[in-house]
Amino acid sequence: MIVRQRTNWLKMLFIWRGSVLKKIVPQLVIITLFSVAIYFFKGRIFDYKVHLNPTIFTLIGLALAIFMGFCNSASYDRFWEGRKLWGLLVIETRSLTRQILSFIPNVSKEEKQKIVKLISAFCWSLNDQLRDKTGNDNLSRLLSSEQLEYLKDKKFVPGIILAFIADWLNEQYQKGNIDTIILKQMDSQLNQFSNVSGGCERIYNTPLPFAYSILLHRTVYLYCFWLPFGLVDTLEWMMPLIVLLISYTFIALDAIIQEIGEPFGEEENDLALNSICRTIEFSIFEQAEIQQAELKKADSYFVD
């Protein structure tokens, strides 16, 4: 995801990165050329003059705008819920790290650091799971060879890593290094990890209903391709420019709805999961005094 500082109005007109314009340029070019052709032939198809009252497009455009507003709200709700879940994960990872470091006094620093690395590995594995990645570059530097071998061919890696952490906590409880109250609190933190993971899976596995998407997509393009026939007699040579402006508005919003409706992807307006994972790792490694020579702190949650 990209978040820019507000700049002057002229620079805003020419910003390319983060805009959906590059995805819809072909559609806009085709619609503009089609509009020019309609103007050249004066709204005729062969010998038939297509008579469309501009009022019709006003009514259809109003209904389309309301429907697009609904779909945009639904997509943004998914995006914002995903961001809140990962924000909760930032909080819970730091809390669990603090508890491990502070409330288990009879365990060596090196042993605690291994568990802190497991916490970071959980975040990276959830990132990979949501983005359908199979590589384990981050896991290979955070987990032992035995753990990596155990995870081989496993379908839901975050759950297995969470079990590694739970087994370690249970082992410390059996040894008397953790009392019942502290164990209960730490187990509550692990439950929050599971809640975050389950919430993200719900968003990932339940996209916006396809019927909404196809209806919106079809209506937008039908509207844009019929619009030149309704405006050619009133706007004449200005018609292609006005059609281009209206088409850009509707088609760009359609593209944004599709993009933010899947917040865990790797497009420019999706959530910056890599940056969030780096921030989590940097902060908990700093708490545990783990060397971070290979890790650069994320400058922002919003640049992946």
pLDDT, one tens digit per residue, over 2-58 is 555 666 767 777 777 778 888 899 999 999 999 999 888 887 877 777 788 888 888
Mean pLDDT of the chain: 88
Mean pLDDT of all residues in 176-196 = 93
Query: Could you give phi then psi for residue 190, rounded to 5 degrees?
Result: -65, -35
Quick check: 277 pLDDT over 60? yes
Evaluate if residue 180 carries a pLDDT over 80.
yes
Its pTM stands at: 0.87
Going 14 to 275 to 279 to 73, the CA torsion angle's sign is: positive
pLDDT of residue 241: 94
Check whether 91 has a pLDDT greater than 80. Answer: yes
The lowest-confidence range among 61-65, 200-204, 235-239, 299-303 is 299-303
Residue 285 has pLDDT above 90, yes or no: yes
Higher-pLDDT residue of 9, 61: 61
CA gap 15, 294 in Å, rounded: 33
- CA–CA separation, 91 vs 89, rounded Å? 5
Written as six digits, the tokens of 304 are 């992946």
Amino acid (one-letter) located at 299:
D
Question: 239, 231 in Cβ contact below 8 A?
Answer: yes
User: Mean pLDDT lowest for which of 43-47, 79-83, 110-114, 166-170?
Assistant: 43-47
